[in-house]
């Protein structure tokens, strides 16, 4: 009788690469032998190695996916904060200045904040006065904040301060940008009865490296530190922000925002005196923004004759002029300051009768 071919264990052969072993039984029947201990140990080792490699690949892919998601989240947070600050700059009537003071460095910024009764723990970078466009009640309504009391001061505008400081334990380091001010509603308006919120974290993971690429040519004033800087040029603000995405990756954003509500340059303050018994007028003015390249222009308006002329243009802070014309004419004087292409608002008006 022709012997029957031995059976093969195809599934195990594919997994282990082992050939089944067969032999002819003395009775003439074929039987398949079992695995030896060494073969089982080799199989277990191979299976363990395959599982380990597969597990390592899954873990690596998961970690890579989480890192990608974290980087995307940080970039989104930085972009969101960047847009939020830019929008408030566009709404502001004054930027890094009050009616009397202008911030040109950290010391003058501290004096400015003190003058409005504010102080922040970090390095102040941006001070804004954002007008409140909502109706301002005499007494706050019963169903809202400060019910039954007058709205907090100031009532016609909101004081907003952005500063940079080390992140607290609940936020990603090394730095965070914090905001002081009333919290806008979902439609962007401000409730005049709401209280300002101090140290409201706007965005974390801000870089601790100085952005040396921040360009702020004269007459711009550079303020800020590390990953949060601004260059203020009148009503225009160049905004520079850097997020520390990882230990080796820095994400940088920069753009220019312009106030839509007016010129945020400080207006000069004009002093004028008339020498007794004469038509001689002594004019002098003050301007809190420093700069050796500042040019002042003094304009005289004779109201009755409807004539306007420029009587002085230069860098001095005073001049002397004569009133000429008809007796009874009113002569009014104003002054403006120009730094580069930026011109300040017109000063207060001083008038005399000839």
What is the full DSSP assignment across 246-303? SSS-EEEEEEEEE-SS---SPPPEEEEEE-TTSSEEEEEEE--S--TTEEEEEEEEET
pLDDT at site 31:
52
Name every residue whose Cβ is closer than 8 Å to that of residue 245 and which is 6 or more positions away in sequence. 71, 74, 75, 205, 251
Q: Distance of CA 29 to CAs 6, 10, 20, 35, 78, Å? A: 10, 21, 17, 20, 78
pLDDT at 17 (0 to 100) = 52
Residue that the structure tokens 């940080």 belong to: 74
Distance from C-alpha of 48 to C-alpha of 53, rounded to nearest angstrom: 9
Instruction: Give percent of the chain above pLDDT 90.
Output: 37
Q: How far apart are CA 243 and CA 268, in angstroms?
A: 39
- Whole-prediction pTM: 0.61
Answer yes or no: is pLDDT of 80 > 80: yes
152: number of Cβ within 10 Å: 16
Mean pLDDT of 67-88: 86
The model's confidence at residue 73, banded by pLDDT at 50, 70 and 90, is confident
Is the pLDDT at 117 greater than 90, yes or no? yes
pLDDT over 50 (residue 322): yes
- pLDDT per residue as tens digits for the range 137-169: 999 999 999 999 999 999 889 999 999 999 988
Structure tokens at 84: 């939020």
Is pLDDT at 53 greater than 70 in this prediction?
yes
Q: For the residues 56-69, what does the mean pLDDT come to?
A: 75
Q: What is the pLDDT averaged over residues 204-220? A: 81
7 pLDDT more than 50: no
For the record, the structure tokens of 151 come out as 């709205």
Task: Say which range, 3-7, 74-78, 277-281, has the weakest mean pLDDT.
Answer: 3-7
Of residues 344, 354, 353, the one with CA closest to residue 270: 344
What's the maximum distance between 2 C-alpha atoms anywhere in the chain? 150
Question: Is residue 50 over pLDDT 60?
Answer: yes
DSSP reduced 3-state for 97: strand
Give the residue, 137 or 346, on which the prediction is more confident.
137
Q: Which of 51-60, 228-237, 252-261 has the highest mean predicted lDDT (pLDDT)?
A: 228-237
Q: How confident is the model at residue 9, as a pLDDT?
A: 45
- The predicted model gives 65-77 an average pLDDT of 78
Q: How confident is the model at residue 6 (pLDDT cuts 50, 70, 90)?
A: very low
Residue 275 has pLDDT above 60, yes or no: yes
Label residue 255 by pLDDT band (50, 70, 90).
confident
* Higher pLDDT pick, 19 / 102: 102
Q: What is the mean pLDDT of residues 230-247?
A: 86
Tell me the pLDDT of the chain averaged across its residues. Answer: 82
pLDDT at 4 over 80: no
Give the residue among 350, 342, 352, 319 at the shortest CA–CA distance from 102.
Answer: 342
- Position 102 scores a pLDDT of 86
Smallest CA-to-CA distance from 110 within 101, 128, 191 is with 101
**Pair 160, 130: CB distance under 8 Å:** yes
Q: Per-residue DSSP letters for 109-174?
A: HHHHHHHTT---SSEEEEEEEEE--S---SS--TTSTTTTSPPPSPSSEEEEEEEEEE--TTS-SS
Residues for the chain: how many in total? Answer: 354
> Is the confidence at residue 21, as pLDDT, over 90?
no
What the chain holds in terms of domains, given with CATH numbers, is 89-258 (no CATH), 269-353 (2.60.40.10)
Look up tokens 């400060």; give the residue: 146
pLDDT score of 18: 42
Identify the residue whose tokens are 């000069």.
Answer: 268
Could you tell me if residue 328 is left (phi over 0), alpha (psi between -120 and 50 degrees) or otherwise beta? left
The number of beta carbons lying within 10 Å of the beta carbon of residue 95 is: 26
Task: Using pLDDT thresholds of 50, 70 and 90, give the confidence band for residue 308.
Answer: confident
Whether the per-residue pLDDT at 25 is higher than 50: the answer is no
| Res 198: pLDDT | 93
CB 187, CB 87: distance < 8 Å: no
Q: Which residue has the tokens 């039984």?
A: 25
């Amino acid at each position: 009788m022709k012997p029957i071919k031995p059976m093969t264990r195809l599934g195990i052969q594919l997994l282990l690469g082992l050939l089944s072993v067969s032999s002819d039984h003395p009775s003439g029947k074929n039987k398949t032998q079992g695995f030896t201990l060494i073969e089982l140990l080799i199989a277990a080792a191979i299976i363990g190695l395959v599982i380990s490699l597969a597990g390592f690949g899954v873990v690596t892919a998961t970690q890579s996916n989480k890192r990608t998601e974290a980087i995307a989240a940080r970039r989104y947070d930085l972009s969101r904060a960047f847009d939020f600050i830019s929008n408030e700059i566009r709404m502001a009537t004054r930027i890094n200045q009050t009616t009397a003071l202008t911030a040109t460095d950290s010391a003058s910024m501290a004096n400015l904040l003190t003058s409005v009764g504010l102080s922040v723990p970090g390095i102040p970078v941006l001070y804004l006065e954002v007008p409140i466009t909502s109706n301002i009640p005499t007494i706050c309504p019963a169903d809202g904040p400060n019910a039954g009391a007058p709205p907090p001061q100031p009532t016609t505008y909101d004081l907003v301060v952005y500063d940079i400081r080390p992140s607290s334990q609940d936020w990603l380091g090394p730095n965070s940008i914090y905001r002081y001010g009333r919290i806008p509603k979902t439609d962007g308006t401000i409730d005049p009865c709401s209280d300002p919120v101090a140290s409201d974290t706007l965005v974390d993971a801000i870089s601790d490296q100085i952005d040396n690429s921040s360009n702020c040519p004269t007459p711009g004033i550079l303020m800020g530190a590390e990953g949060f800087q601004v260059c203020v040029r009148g009503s225009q603000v160049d905004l520079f922000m850097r997020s520390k995405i990882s230990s080796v990756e820095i994400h940088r954003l920069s753009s220019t925002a312009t106030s839509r509500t007016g010129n945020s340059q400080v207006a000069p303050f004009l002093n004028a005196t008339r020498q007794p018994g004469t038509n001689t007028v002594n004019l002098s003015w003050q301007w809190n923004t420093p700069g050796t390249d500042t040019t002042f222009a003094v304009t005289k308006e004779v109201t009755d004759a409807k004539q306007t002329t420029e009587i002085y243009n230069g860098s001095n802070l005073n001049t002397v002029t004569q009133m000429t014309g008809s007796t009874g004419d009113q002569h009014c004087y104003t002054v403006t300051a120009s730094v580069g292409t930026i011109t300040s608002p017109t000063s207060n008006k001083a008038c005399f009768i000839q």
